[in-house]
């Protein structure tokens, strides 16, 4: 909806002049709902009724019941769409914080070769899967082992799975050595 259409709609809804509608819309950066809320707060129009039935704009106001004002409608609209996004981004931020305080340790024998934040590891797996996974597999075959450390990921089950992968790589390496020795 272009600015002129918004001016026309505000003028019709609020029973005000074109100039006044233009000024209010300009003051509210072209946001029609903000303009209506401003008029409502100034007492120049009454809030909408709960049934949504409008009265005639000729009597100086559109709505007669304050319980379902434009402000309440805006909050309801915001809660339906933006609250979902806010919740999603809050969840993403929480995951990133947890990922930053937990690390993936790369060990060679008893020495820790590297410790990278889990967030970096996950990003590497997502964006460079075809490089990250083969490098990790190669690392297993050259004697590296992996483990998670930190307050959220230092769980036995996760690290046990890494240990099994390391042991499997060692077994495969031993089998290959035996086959090579036979020849």
Residue 50: count other Cβ atoms within 10 Å of its Cβ.
12
- Provide the residue-wise pLDDT of the chain in tens; the chain has 183 residues: 788 888 888 888 888 888 888 888 888 888 888 888 888 888 777 776 665 544 444 444 444 444 455 566 656 555 556 678 888 888 889 889 888 989 999 999 889 999 999 999 999 999 999 999 999 989 988 888 888 888 876 666 777 877 888 888 888 888 888 888 886
Q: Residue 8 is encoded by which pair of tokens?
A: 């026309």
**Residue 86 pLDDT:** 82
């Amino acid at each position: 909806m272009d600015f002129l259409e918004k001016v026309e709609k505000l003028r019709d809804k609020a029973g005000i002049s074109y100039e006044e509608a233009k000024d209010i819309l300009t003051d509210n950066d072209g946001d029609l709902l903000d303009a209506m809320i401003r008029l409502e707060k100034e007492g120049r129009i009454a809030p909408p009724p709960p049934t949504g039935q409008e009265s005639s704009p000729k009597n100086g106001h559109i709505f007669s019941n304050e319980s379902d004002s434009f402000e309440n409608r805006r909050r309801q609209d915001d809660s339906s769409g933006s609250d979902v996004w806010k919740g999603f981004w809050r969840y993403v931020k929480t995951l990133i914080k947890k990922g930053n305080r937990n690390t993936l340790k790369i060990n060679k024998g008893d020495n820790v070769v590297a410790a990278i934040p889990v967030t970096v590891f996950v990003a590497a797996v997502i964006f460079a899967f075809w490089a990250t996974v083969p490098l990790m597999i190669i690392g297993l075959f050259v004697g590296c082992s992996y483990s998670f450390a930190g307050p959220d990921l230092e769980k036995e089950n996760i690290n046990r799975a890494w240990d099994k992968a390391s042991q499997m790589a060692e077994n495969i390496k031993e089998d290959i050595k035996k086959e090579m020795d036979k020849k």
